[in-house]
Chain A
Amino acid sequence: MESMSTTHDRSAVLAALTARLGAERVTSDVADLLVYASDGSTLHDATPAGVVFPESTAEVVDIVTTCAAHGVPFVARGSGTGLSGGAMALDGGIVVALNRLRRILDVDVPNRCARVQPGVANLAISRAVEHHGLHYAPDPSSQAVCSIGGNVAHNSGGPHTLKNGVTVNHVLGLQIVLSDGTLVDVGGPERPGYDLAALITGSEGTFGIVTEVTVKLSPLPEGVRTAIAAFATIDDASHAVTSVIAGGLMPAALEMLDRVVVAALEAAFGLTFPPGAAALLLLECDGPEDGLDDEISRAVDICREHGALEVRLARDDNERAALWTARKKAFGALGRIARNYCTQDGVIPRTKLPEMLRRVGEIADRHRLRVANVFHAGDGNLHPCILFDDRDADERARVVSAGREILDVCLELGGSLSGEHGIGIEKREAMARMFAEDDLAVMRALREALDPLGLCNPHKVLPGGSRCVELGPGGKQVHA
């Protein structure tokens, strides 16, 4: 079902779109294609045949219809912060860049929802409604950058997922252009029938291009308390995490950072941590002011019982913001200690944290790689970041092998391949190790029903044949 478009087909699509949208809005210049060859990941790249910049839903329909007519694959792209290669155009497809579709169309305060275009940044929604005492709750670390369309595609989470849930819990309805150009509205408040909005959320662009998202707005918590605890060992910190949750507390966020990450944060933000700290725990409680101080002090006590070297409470909003800036920019700050990193996204039961981290360390050692760990400890969503130098092809290959082994351990411990970054191109083969053939067959049937021509973001999510796809000028390959 995967398309077999020719150079001629792609040229025809680009020529037709240039004629209608203008030369400014369609590009196939080699320099322009180069910057659209990769997204937030530096491990892989794939050069698209062209990039198109629609400015309305009607233009997205036009682009998709034109691609369908010529059998040319396409992939929507938001801010390009994805970490699994989801926005890479394989098979010489067309990138549909949605960055100019970034209007907040409607804010409905009484009904606590907003209708937005897919290119709107996650944080821009919260900024636009904060004066109403509302926010859009899911907060990926890249929330200042990442688009809501990308969040829908990946069913993104974030540090506050622990209490608030992920994107699918906050999407009420979607407008989507299907692969034949049909524009449909799915979901919406209290509409019976299949919950297609939930189906599309997390589908990584394989069902079409989302052109509008209706999101749920939640009240801002009345109060927030944030603490940071330093531990001498990862084990101590992990046990504290388990005890906090087992103690009946419901923190809003519970994040762990290891000493490699801490070193990067010290260099990037001048934060100082007690000597001998091998792990930091960032704890946040929110909700009604009443009882909030009790809740955070119980969490702090638990940290102390587990041998915390030091626990600091953020004294005001500025200190809290500084802590969160450091946490949310932690991936980026790794650029202080390595040229490149590859972020894993496995999920494991919380109780397996110490074992999992030990085994991640062993895998890294075996492949002669360094790993930095920063992760959502509260819900067992790990982000081991494997550090590497992309000029070293051998090291790059070892990164791929180590990443694969880490995921296998996640599965072995009863966990999952991905918490929030999606499968993309990076983990598609591992899907076959997580799901039975029948499970995958249902997914394939769905995909074929919604995208019979196989034009929507081909080669992503589901495992495929054994073809090897050449991915761009760097000679970087992935097996597809």
Chain B
Amino acid sequence: MTDPMTTDAPIPLLATAPECVHCGFCLPACPTYDVLGTEMDSPRGRLALMSALESGDLAPTRAAVGHLDACLGCRACETACPSGVPYGERLEATRATLHDSPLRDRRAAQASRWIRAAVTAPAWMQRLGAGGQRVLRAVGVDRLAERWAARHPDTHLGAALSLWSAGSHWAAQRPSPAPGTTFAPSGPRRMRVALHLGCMQRWMFGGVHRDTIDVLTALGCEVVVPVGQGCCGALAAHEGAADEARGWMRHNLDAYERAGPFDALVVNAAGCGSSLADAARLFDDDATRERAVALGSRVRDVLDLVAELGPLPHARWTHRTQRVAYHDACHLAHAQGVRAAPRRVLEGLPGLELVALAEADRCCGSAGIYNVTQPATALAVLEGKLERLAALDIDVVAAGNPGCLLQLEAGARRAGHTWRLAHPIELVAGRLR
């Protein structure tokens, strides 16, 4: 043994992934610990459960599985953890081992499967769905559904319906670009980027994709929309459906490799961006890992890229000051470390005042489709977010993730708040027109 006081030998770091040392710094960062107040629903408690399950000291119980399923996967604990425990990876790995366990809540698992099937359905079905949504909206059925959902927000169906209604104004915007399309830069080409459409984002947030293209082309990017791309697999991976997630990711690796050279894979949904950037986690074989690392290293959140490319040419003023609160999507702030760039871009828009939101990087309770699989806890987590927003005098709440947008929109509607929800890129694009 070396005496650290008398030698200059370097201090070796652990060769393996760090383990939880029980310091507890994750506790105040954890939204579910905050609302449930139980150690089992804290990161430290869940890590103890995961370790005991892995070592065999603990056989799965309904309670243990329930506590692991009650995790949002927001990864705020990773930001707080001084040891650097890879919590998100551990959670996905453990959930994969429990995926088919009869101890899991069957209705929650079923809800998850249905939603994954719906959002990853073929494009023609999604177009049909979006059309149907417009028709239902026209005849007022969505109002009825929303009213019923507002009375039953803590049920799987009530949660799903209220999110569905919350998405109506996005669904009514321009449709997503067709894969295979290329958009030329206005002016000299500075870079060539590929756009990831995603599943839910492609179906419901076509307008956000169009705005992304408008802004990037205005900033000198050639934007290609590669054919053959699909869901990033994040929803499946978070659920523990590892094979399904791997399948999607292989699909994407092929599609983006076929798309020819590009400088960045632009993603405008935090969850997809995080999943694609960290694609290598899904694979064991070196060859695929290598491909996944190559793709992952080129993933850029749209706001991060816009911040780098500089101010918009000819950004239009608004007729009055727009007061905006920025909510950090967990998979931007905690998973990808993107915090400053979106704020910098928004602050740079003329006539936009960025209003500081307390605990902006605390989860809103959306967490993929957690708000449908665990509706009661999701509502309790959302409540704190809405309270902190309600303390502000704002016109718009901006968030760079479709899940957060729907969750916050649904919550704001139920509570009668008048602010509107927008992806930051929508606010940027609004200044081009």
Give A contacts to B, CB under 8 Å.
Answer: 27, 29-32, 34-36, 38-42, 53, 79-81, 97, 99-100, 102, 119, 121, 142, 144-146, 233-234, 258-260, 263-264, 267-269, 276, 278, 329-341, 357-358, 361, 364-365, 368-372, 473-474
Contacts and interface: CB of A to CB of B under 8 A. Distances in A.
Contacts of B6: 361
B321 interface: no
Contacts of A357: 5
Contact of A335 (B1, B12, B27, B84): B84
A35 B21 contact: no
Nearest to B9: A259
Interface string B73-92: 00000000111110000000
Most chain B C-beta atoms within 10 Å of own C-beta, residue among A36, A258, A332, A338: A332
Given A79-B27, A341-B21, A35 B49 contact: yes
B40 A35 contact: yes
A333 B83 contact: yes
Contacts, number: 156
Interface stretch (B59-67, B111-119, B189-197, B272-280): B59-67
Nearest to A100: B37
B37 A339 contact: no
Contact of B11 (A29, A259, A335): A259
Contacts of B81: 332, 335
B57 interface: yes
Contacts of B37: 53, 97, 99-100, 102, 119
Contacts of A473: 57
A336 B38 contact: no
29 contacts: A32-B38, A42-B21, A42-B22, A53-B37, A79-B27, A80-B22, A100-B37, A234-B5, A258-B5, A259-B5, A263-B10, A263-B11, A268-B84, A278-B4, A332-B23, A332-B82, A334-B83, A335-B21, A335-B82, A335-B83, A335-B84, A336-B13, A337-B13, A339-B21, A340-B19, A341-B21, A364-B1, A364-B3, A370-B2
B83 A35 contact: no
Contacts of A40: 22-24
A357 B58 CA distance: 41
Interface residues of B, number: 42
B183 interface: no
B39 interface: yes
A276 B8 CA distance: 7
B4 A361 contact: yes
Contact of B23 (A32, A97, A99, A329): A329
A36 B48 CA distance: 10
Contact of B49 (A34, A267, A336): A34
B19 A29 contact: no
B33 to A, nearest CB: 8
Interface in B1-54: 1-6, 8, 10-14, 18-25, 27-28, 37-40, 44-45, 48-49, 52
Contacts of A368: 1
The B interface, classified by DSSP as helix, strand, loop or mixed, is loop
Given A42-B21, A267-B13, A329-B82, 16 more contacts: A30-B58, A34-B49, A35-B44, A79-B24, A80-B22, A81-B23, A145-B28, A260-B4, A331-B82, A332-B21, A335-B20, A335-B21, A339-B19, A361-B5, A364-B3, A474-B57
B83 A260 contact: no
B23 A331 contact: yes
Contacts of A97: 37-39
Contact of B39 (A80, A332, A334): A80
A372 B5 contact: no
B12 to A, nearest CB: 7
Contacts of A276: 8
Contacts of A332: 21, 23, 25, 81-83
A268 B82 contact: yes
A336 B61 contact: no
A375 to B, nearest CB: 14
B83 A336 contact: yes
Contact of B83 (A99, A259, A268): A268
Contact of A53 (B19, B38, B82): B38
Given A35-B39, A335-B84, A337-B12, A81 B24 contact: yes
A474 B55 CA distance: 11
A336 B14 CA distance: 6
A99 B38 contact: yes
A334 B25 CA distance: 13
A31 B8 contact: no
A80 B21 CA distance: 12
Most chain A C-beta atoms within 10 Å of own C-beta, residue among B39, B48, B63, B67: B39
A264 B4 CA distance: 13
Contacts of B4: 258-260, 278, 361, 370-372
Nearest to A45: B48
The 6 A-B pairs at the shortest CB distance, nearest first, are namely A335-B83, A332-B82, A263-B11, A332-B23, A31-B64, A329-B82
Nearest to A276: B8
A365 B6 CA distance: 12
A61 B61 CA distance: 31
Contacts of A338: 14
A273 to B, nearest CB: 12
A38 B83 contact: no
A339 B4 CA distance: 18
B84 A34 contact: no
A171 B63 CA distance: 39
Given A333-B83, A335-B84, A361-B4, A31 B13 contact: no
Contacts of A144: 25, 28
B349 to A, nearest CB: 25
Contacts of A259: 4-5, 11
A357 B20 CA distance: 27
Contacts of B82: 268-269, 329-333, 335-336
A142 B14 contact: no
Contacts of B44: 35, 80
Contacts of A335: 14, 18-21, 23, 81-85
Nearest to B11: A263
Nearest to B8: A276
Contacts of B48: 34-35, 38
Contact of A41 (B19, B20, B22, B83): B22
Nearest to A141: B23
Contact of B21 (A334, A364, A365): A334
A167 B390 CA distance: 36
B84 A336 contact: yes
A225 B163 CA distance: 50
Nearest to A235: B5
B228 to A, nearest CB: 39
Contact of A121 (B1, B10, B28, B83): B28
A128 B352 CA distance: 30
